[in-house]
Amino acid sequence: MPNQFKAEVFQNQYLPQGAREVHAIMTVTVQAGDSVAATSNNGRLFGIICDTSGSMGGKKIHAARDAMVKVVNLLPDDAYFFIVTGASKASVICPVSKATPDKKTWAIAAIKEIYASGGTLMSTWLNEALEQFNKMPNAVRQALLLTDGQNDDSDEFKLNKILQACEGVFQCDCRGVGTDWRVAQLQKIANKLLGTTDIIPNAEMIEADFRAILDKAMNKDVSDVAMRLWTPQGAKILFCKQVSPDIVDLTHRAKIVKTQVVDYPTGAWGKQESRDYHFCIEVNPGNVGDEMLAGRASLVYTNKGVETKIVEARILATWTDDDAKSTKIDRRVAHYTGQAELAQSIQEGLEARAKGNIEIATAKLGKAVKLAHESGNEATAKLLKTVVDIEDAPTGTVRLKKAVAKEDEMALETRSTKTTRIQKPQS
């Protein structure tokens, strides 16, 4: 069924005389409707990229094989898929195929022959995946990458190069099983490819995670969507961030369309989805009483080379000498500013803890506890309790736990950018 996109902008458009920064939150929701034709007729292509290096031996490779078999069996008949296995080199054990019963049987037989051996060079894995995705350039393209270890440092240059080539071609969710992988390495891949990163603490949980990622991928039906932002002459975009459901800084991903117009990638969209974006635009200040259009934000999708504008919203600025108007901070702007500060506090706190700087770690993680409490981010507050003992959440008074499970620390780090929606005021 075609989709219908809606957009709302939340901001305090009133600025004091001389002020230059305009903040706005744009909420985009998509529901079943009749305004945007789905691109599912171009196909959905789901790629599995599985680590088969030596460290995956034993329970992990058995669980990964079982999970891949389950995913292949769950693929809808009209979907396409491929499977890449990777160690020091990558192998395409199943090239792009339609998920017919015969192709599924053939792929499952190949999966059962997978064994673990060799090192870890992720650039080779992504390179093979890219070649497969390039076979269906108009499809909704999603990959899942599973690893249990660290990419070899010698692969850094090649990985950066292949990520540049993969950007915009497909999205990729990254999962690390166990605790021997590096969060920063997988986040680097996922962030570049507009995906998510998370920990799978033990091998028995691989299947459930794979199924969740597949369900989400099969729900996507509008591909290659960009956030297009127009700003007036003399204005400067200070930042553009997705702030819900995760914080993703898109600022440095801007592609110039023409003078005063830039695009930011948002990837594919599915049914019943909602995301929030935070814009900060610097404009030339006006005089009291002046009004201006500070920006115009729209979603644009491309299907077979044809651009279509889905939805548009306006960002305004009005200068006033009324302090009651100009000092009021929009609730959503304040909320997501706090969520960004929460994520930063967690990351800085964990970094200080790893370096043995107890004082800074306690202060940063205490601040995170306070921010999580104030914003109602219960999921993050729960994760923080695995790393600190909370004496008083409202004030952020905490003590670092002496013993912290590695998987708990990694879970907090990987999920620190997950945000909560603003709570409705109590009546």
| Residue pLDDT, tens place only, 47-85 | 999 999 999 999 999 999 999 999 999 999 999 999 999
Report the run of H or E that residue 175 belongs to, with start and end.
strand 171-177
As annotated, the residues of the chain forming the CATH 1.20.120.1690 domain(s) are: 332-414
Measured torsion, CA atoms of residues 389, 393, 398, 401, in degrees rounded to the nearest 10: 20
Q: Which residue spans of the chain are classified as CATH 2.60.40.3670?
A: 3-38+222-321
In the CATH scheme, what is the code of domain 41-221? Answer: 3.40.50.410
- Whether the ω angle into residue 245 lies within 30 degrees of 0, i.e. cis, is yes
51, 166, 304, 338, 407 from 198: Cα distances, Å: 16, 20, 33, 22, 11
In this prediction, residue 223 carries a pLDDT of 85
For the chain, how big is the Rg over CA atoms in Å? Answer: 23
Q: Which helix (H) or strand (E) holds 239?
A: strand 236-244
Q: Which residue has the higher pLDDT, 44 or 40?
A: 44
Residue 204 tokens, joined? 């028995």
| Domain 3-38+222-321, CATH | 2.60.40.3670
Share of residues in the chain with pLDDT > 70 (%): 96
Helices (H), 40-117: 59-74, 101-111
List, as one string, the DSSP characters of 312-381.
EEEEEEEEES-HHHHTPPPHHHHHHHHHHHHHHHHHHHHHHHHTT-HHHHHHHHHHHHHHHHHHT-HHHH
Instruction: Give the integer Cα–Cα distance in Å for 181 and 88.
Output: 16
**Per-residue tokens: 398:** 């905490």
Please tell me the predicted confidence (pLDDT) of residue 271: 83
- The type of residue at 245 is P
Q: What is the mean pLDDT of residues 309-330?
A: 95
pLDDT in tens, 151-191: 999 999 999 999 999 999 999 999 999 999 999 999 999 99
Distance CA 319, CA 286 (A): 6
Beta-carbon neighbour count of residue 256 at 10 Å? 9
**Burial class of residue 24 in the structure, from the number of CB atoms within 10 Å of its CB (0-12 exposed, 13-18 middle, 19+ buried):** buried
Average pLDDT over every residue of 27-36: 73
Looking at the structure, give the CATH architecture of the domain made up of residues 332-414. Up-down Bundle (1.20)
Query: What is the token pair recorded at 82?
Result: 């491929």
- Chain region(s) in the chain for CATH 3.40.50.410: 41-221
